[in-house]
Chains A and B, each alone.
Chain A
Amino acid sequence: MDLEREGGRGANQLRPIDCSRNVLSRAHGSASCSHGETRVLAAVYGPKAGTKKNENPEKACIEVIWKPKSGQIGKPEKEFEMILKRTLQNICLLNVHPNTTTSIIVQVVHDDACAALIDAGIPLKYLAESGKILLDPNKLEEQKTKAFVCLAFPSSVHSVLTEGSINGIITSLTHGVMAVDDYFQCVEQGRAAITPLSNILKKKLQSQSAE
């Protein structure tokens, strides 16, 4: 299948990724990540004392605040917050700091494709377009497709889970209609793409911490 994508990417190629840490001075932790044109800034404050009302005080609570570039906060933003929160809850060890709240604030700087980029999790996006599967779409491609899948896998380096779910999927979010086979193929491609992605991130973050 010959596909012509913008920028000459093949069906299985990712956009260029850039990542930098510690960009903000007041936040306890911060990172700026960009996938091609999409840029996202994230900051972490915590652990702070106390949990929210309905949360379990035996565990740490993670609070995610998603800020869009402009406009009011609406339902899509709430959905992203929930997705991120659930993804992160599975990744982090929650028993280490009970009764605390860690706030993660994500600010979308430029939105070329729905991006859920966080330091720990490595979500990837796929789309299935009448039989062809493209990895890591940008906005135009996303708009043209029939369906897309957003998958988050744990990478063996970053995750702390030891319960044998190394190859499992943490989060899967789909839009549109696709065949079951297509879905599994997306999962396979995603899993395969995890390694280069995590290697890139690891290299960037390590080189920064060495400074």
Chain B
Amino acid sequence: MEQRLGSTWRMTVNEKKFIETALLSDLRTDGRGPFDYRNLTIQFGSEDGSSEVQLGQTRVMGFVTSQLVQPYRDRPNEGSLAIFTEFSPMADPSFEVGRPGEFAVELGRIVDRGLRESRAVDTESLCVVAGKWVWSIRIDLHILDNGGNLVDAANIAALAALLTFRRPECTLGGEDGQEVTIHPPDVREPLPLIVHHLPIAVTFAFIGNESTVVIDPSHFEEAVMGGKLTATLNTNGDVCAIQKAGGEGVMQSVIMQCLRIASVKAADITDKIKKAVGLDGGVVEVAHERYESGLWTLILKNGGVWLLILLTNWSSKEAFCSFTLLHLLEKLRNKTFVLVGKAAWKGVNNLSKEMEKPKMKTEDRSINQDDMEIEIHSSKKDGSSLGDNKPKAFTGGPSSWDPYSKGVNVDELKASLASRAVVTPKEEMDTSPPLKPATDESLKDADPAPSSQETAGTTEHTNEAKTLKDAVKPKHKRKKKKNLHHLFETLLETRLSRCCNVNLLCSLELAIVACN
């Protein structure tokens, strides 16, 4: 322990002078420019939620695991996220086993602030039974090799692991609906986490006296530097965290310049992460969310695909048409709008039949294609093709909607979303006119399809209380299908449970909007 003097490594004066003088002419010892990152490679282990990041010589591994625990008292319907950093002695001879040193704690805190406090991971969707069971996500970061700039690499490893992590699906059961059964992966496919944005940490080192700034310092540069600044940003232009703990004083103009450079680099790295994870890795960003006067709108974005979800009740459809749609269209200006499908359902009872029929077809579709394709080409090319897959319609009358009572029947929501079943209510005719003027002609291709459905629609009112669980197909093996609808389900569950009624009659319209 204390006798291991041979493990400390000191920089020689020659090396220090060499690095400083080289930087005066904008040269770094490994040939990079002052604002160049080293090579970043992201690899994944065979399990979900394990990643290995190599940034130059620095290697960091991230593992994500989950567990059902009791929530904190003051946040009964939120899950939790915890980050543990392991400065393994294999990374550096000066790292000791046992309690983390102050550098390890600092690194853990920076990553924690970026991920947890900026609410990058949606913790409300981790709630299973409010007040009793929530998912607790644990991220373990193992530093394998210290080649400099551990913070950035650790952050990327944590993000990559989170994006590929899948948590088991669990359902409520038992007499009072309080028992939770966790399904193993071969029975029900596990779900990805909902990540709102990717906070990327960018580290700058201040070397020498003439405010020389370099990005992504290597191990030698770290030994020479006078101060360090880490800025955590995301691609939306938000600054999630800034850490400059001591070190040399730096002028404000330099810090502002660093932030500007950091935002460019953050965009770069986000692209690389997304590419490594694969666009279908469950990165669904919530681009817009609004609840107003009986109407709730949500826009989700997955890569290049945008999904618009509108939830309203029958009587306020005028409000929805006029106000929200225009507002939304304005937001998504210059995008190609294609109306792909709409789904509506009524009450608790009547869905099961409808769900069973279209399930086969739509499920196949969702299995075979990428998210990009399912939205884009099936609709752009031939809007009417979807019309064939739509099941019989049924309509219902308006009803009261109390936004402040208990939640909607979640199973219905799941079934309706999972099948993406399309049922056309009467109002489709009403909504298509306002849509027409605002969109381009590709929409018109899709319009004839819904209207044809309209005529084929029949009203069915069955009073059998069939459970929708029968309608939900059990998923057997893990397929490589997209988990987008799982994400929608969980997102919608949490949001809707706050504002909908069990006996609600409401229409859910899914308009898939594809953008170029």
Contact = CB atoms under 8 A, between A and B. Distances in A.
A48 B61 contact: no
A93 interface: no
Interface of A: 24-27, 30, 37, 39, 41-43, 45, 48-52, 65, 67, 69-71, 101, 103, 105, 107, 109-110
In the A-B complex, the 6 residue pairs with the smallest Cβ-Cβ separation, listed nearest first, are A50-B3, A43-B90, A105-B90, A70-B140, A49-B6, A25-B57
Nearest to A32: B144
B144 A41 contact: yes
Contact of A49 (B4, B52, B84): B4
Interface string B41-76: 000011100101000010101010100000000000
Given A24-B145, A70-B140, A107 B4 contact: no
Interface of B: 1, 3-7, 45-47, 50, 52, 57, 59, 61, 63, 65, 84, 86, 88-93, 97, 138, 140, 142, 144-147, 219
B3 A105 contact: no
B5 A52 contact: no
Given A27-B145, A49-B3, A65-B97, A105 B89 contact: yes
Given A26-B91, A52-B1, 10 more contacts: A24-B145, A25-B57, A25-B145, A27-B90, A42-B90, A48-B93, A50-B3, A70-B65, A103-B89, A105-B90
Contacts of A69: 50, 63, 140
A70 B144 contact: no
Contact of A37 (B5, B46, B88, B91): B46
* Interface SS, A side: strand
B45 A109 contact: yes
Contact of B59 (A24, A37, A65, A70): A24
Nearest to A105: B90
Given A26-B147, A48-B6, A49-B6, A105 B88 contact: yes
A110 B47 contact: yes
Nearest to B62: A70
Contact of A26 (B5, B6, B145): B145
Contacts of A43: 89-90, 144
B28 to A, nearest CB: 17
Contact of A45 (B50, B57, B89, B146): B89
Contact of B86 (A45, A51, A67): A67
Contacts of A41: 90, 144
Contacts of B147: 25-26
Contacts of B61: 107, 109
Contacts of A71: 65, 140
Contacts of B59: 24
Contacts of B140: 69-71
Contacts of A105: 88-90
Tell which of B4, B93, B138 has the most Cβ of chain A within 10 Å: B4
B50 to A, nearest CB: 7
Contacts of B97: 65
B63 A70 contact: yes
B146 A110 contact: no
A65 B89 contact: yes
A105 B91 CA distance: 10
A26 B92 contact: yes
Contacts of A25: 57, 145, 147
